[in-house]
Structure 1
């Protein structure tokens, strides 16, 4: 009687067939895909605020100040700040508002100001960044 030996080979033909089918699918669908371009601002661009933007300054002790273009900085309460920005929005609905947080301010304080502005339907809110001195 002849003893049977086990073959230790893997039949790779089905794997090659599957790979070729996937390759054909990708080659057919790749030209049909539309690619979108996203313009992400770099820190260099974002560090220069727009000319007409209002700046809300949040200090480390959670006090607020408003810096309007061509005017000096004025300390305000949260309610006064919201009223000032709402009146600026009535004059110019596309009025940009930048929030500048002190380095030592808690992130929660900046988010509270941003939330107040979003509740007033301010469309253009941004964070003012300053480039690092490296």
Structure 2
């Protein structure tokens, strides 16, 4: 009889594994539910704001600094008080822009790149304006397409 109980003990070994398949199934179902419901949560709330005959606040319009890159990749700077852009090399331009930004950190800075200039040149200049001249926000300047021109 002792030998019979040993055989049963050998056949019925305990498993120390966790079956994770049901957990994966539940996780995938929850993932699908959240993916479907997430876009529906961005519903706006209608607010009926009070009306009054008050004057609007006037904001100071600051003249921006415009860094121009011509078709040959040469740089120039246009700012308030100049009638035409002042040509300069990159080091001079970064020093000048840094001085303007130090005087007024909220001064808008635009980069106007010629259509013929390589994008890499404009992109590198924007990076240097942010890192070297400490400009918080650099924007690209463009013009609307002409009615007669098509790509």
Query: Bigger relative contact order, structure 1 or 2, given CA contacts below 8 A and separation 6+?
Result: 1
Larger radius of gyration: 2
2:65 maps to which of 54, 59, 67? 54
Q: What is the TM-score when the length of structure 1 is the normalising length?
A: 0.63
1:92 maps to which of 97, 104, 112? 104
Pairing 1:59-78 to 2, within 5 Å after superposition:
59-72=70-83, 73-78=85-90
Runs of 4+ in structure 1 deviating by more than 6 angstroms, as ranges, are none
SS in 1 for 2:76: strand
Matched, 1:79 2:91: yes
Residue of structure 2 equivalent to 1:12: none
Unaligned runs of 5+ in 1: 1-24, 37-49
Unaligned runs of 5+ in 2: 1-32, 45-60
Q: What is the TM-score when the length of structure 2 is the normalising length?
A: 0.56
Write out per-residue CA displacement over residues 48-81 of structure 1, whole angstroms, 9 at most, x where no aligned residue.
xx74110000011111000002213100110001
Matched, 1:132 2:140: no
SS in 1 for 2:110: strand
Tell whether the 8 Å contact from 2:62 to 2:107 is kept in structure 1 after alignment.
Answer: no
SS in 2 for 1:113: helix
1:33 maps to which of 41, 48, 61? 41
CA RMSD of aligned residues (A): 2.8
